[in-house]
């Protein structure tokens, strides 16, 4: 592919393992006879031509680093027709014929619209700690974030036990409860309050009445940051009002969850998906997200990956309830 480049960018929130994905895309492309250009600061950098050629050396010694060497930004301009027109003109100038986009829901939505408007082959890699993209069992960054949360909750458990307290620990995840539910199981928490469980049943009432009063003197509840639920502060305030006999504390883990050296699982996942993105382009695939299902690589149309709500395994809710008695 003389003087035709594959562009790679990271967009939206960062996730550990993005660097491993950048490395895999770059090296797999070069190995298959392509040239690569790294696009800095996501779609914003594509519009502003913050682009340079990547060699295999450029991605040396990055697999173990958190964050993204390409930087990331949310781009309002790319959401406009004029912004996308600028981005396409820059791609033509830079001789970029295909794009590999590493990011979450918003990033892949942008890629889908762009691909439709300008007939550009786009391949997405699921890079988000939320694990909320449909069609893939895991997203890049999820496993690392999960391990970070569990490590933090283990430490909070020590102080909760010393003081007879209820701790509400707020974790990320947007409208998806994967991080909250699975970190609650892994850390032996007493409950998880998640968006998927927002039925008419009052999750707080259920948890308190399930035997906290009778048997436990300290308790940890993991709360998903979901805007619908109001987060950990909302539930802590309710306990102070409705159950004033309890000593309540709140910990919001915040951006702590995003950073850190990626776990082995995230490095392997990112490496597999990055290589598969290049194979997809070689096969003439376009406008798809590369995912993994039952340990097999799958290609998921953008429309499907973005639109559908990824179901949480309901048996996990039952499991947590049984194991936290």
Q: Could you tell me which residues come within 8 angstroms of residue 262 by beta carbon, excluding any fewer than 6 positions away?
A: 16, 17, 19, 20, 63, 64, 66, 141, 143, 144, 270
Instruction: Point out which residues pair with 297 in neighbouring strands.
Output: 292
* Contact call for residues 32 and 282 (beta carbons, < 8 A): yes
**What is the enclosing helix (H) or strand (E) of 288?**
strand 288-293
SS3 labels along 2-62? CCCEEEEEECCCCCCCHHHHHHHHHHHHHHCCCEEEEECCHHHHHHCCCEEEECCHHHCCC
Residue (of 16, 226, 253, 225) closest to 129 by Cα position: 16
- Looking at the chain, list the stretches that DSSP marks H as alpha helix, in order from N- to C-terminal side: 18-31, 42-47, 81-93, 105-118, 142-163, 178-187, 203-207, 213-215, 231-242, 264-282, 302-307, 314-323
Query: Tokens 């790294």 sit at which residue?
Result: 38
* Cα–Cα distance measured from residue 253 to residue 169, given in angstroms and rounded to the nearest whole number: 7
Q: In the sheet where 248-252 sits, what is the strand order?
A: 191-193, 219-224, 166-171, 248-252
Tokens of 307: 């639109």
CB 36 within 8 A of CB 8: yes
Q: Answer yes or no: 130 catalytic.
A: yes
Integer Cα distance of 260 and 82 in angstroms: 37
Catalytic residue among 14, 130, 132, 266: 130
The pair of three-digit structure tokens given for residue 249, joined into one six-digit string: 């504390």
CB 175 within 8 A of CB 132: yes
Residues marked as catalytic: 130
């Amino acid at each position: 592919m003389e003087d035709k480049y594959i562009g790679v960018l990271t967009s939206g929130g960062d996730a550990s393992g993005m660097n491993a994905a950048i490395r895999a895309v770059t090296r797999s492309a070069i190995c298959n006879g392509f040239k690569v250009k790294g696009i800095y600061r996501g779609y914003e950098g594509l519009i502003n031509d913050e682009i340079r050629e990547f060699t295999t050396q450029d991605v040396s010694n990055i697999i173990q680093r958190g964050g993204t060497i390409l930087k990331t930004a949310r781009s309002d301009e790319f959401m406009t027709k004029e912004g996308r027109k600028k981005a396409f003109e820059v791609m033509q100038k830079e001789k970029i014929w295909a794009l590999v986009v590493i990011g979450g829901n918003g990033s892949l939505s942008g890629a889908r619209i762009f691909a439709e408007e300008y007939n550009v082959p786009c391949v997405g890699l699921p890079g988000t700690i939320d694990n909320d993209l449909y069609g893939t069992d895991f997203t890049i960054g999820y496993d690392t974030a999960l391990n970070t949360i569990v490590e933090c909750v283990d430490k909070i458990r020590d102080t909760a036990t010393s003081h007879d307290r209820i701790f509400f620990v707020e974790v990320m995840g947007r409208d998806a409860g994967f991080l909250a539910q699975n970190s609650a199981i892994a850390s032996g928490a007493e409950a998880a309050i998640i968006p998927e469980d927002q039925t008419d049943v009052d999750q707080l009432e259920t948890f308190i009445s399930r035997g906290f009063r009778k048997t436990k003197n300290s308790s940890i509840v993991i709360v998903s940051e979901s805007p619908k639920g109001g987060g950990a502060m909302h539930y802590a305030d309710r306990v102070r009002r409705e159950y004033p006999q309890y000593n309540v504390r709140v910990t919001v883990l915040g951006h702590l969850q995003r950073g850190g050296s990626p776990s082995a699982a995230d490095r392997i996942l990112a490496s597999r998906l990055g290589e598969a993105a290049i194979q997809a382009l070689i096969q003439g695939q376009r406008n798809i997200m590369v995912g993994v299902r039952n340990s097999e690589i799958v290609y998921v149309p953008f429309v499907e990956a973005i639109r559908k709500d990824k179901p949480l395994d309901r048996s996990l809710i039952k499991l947590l309830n049984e194991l936290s008695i």
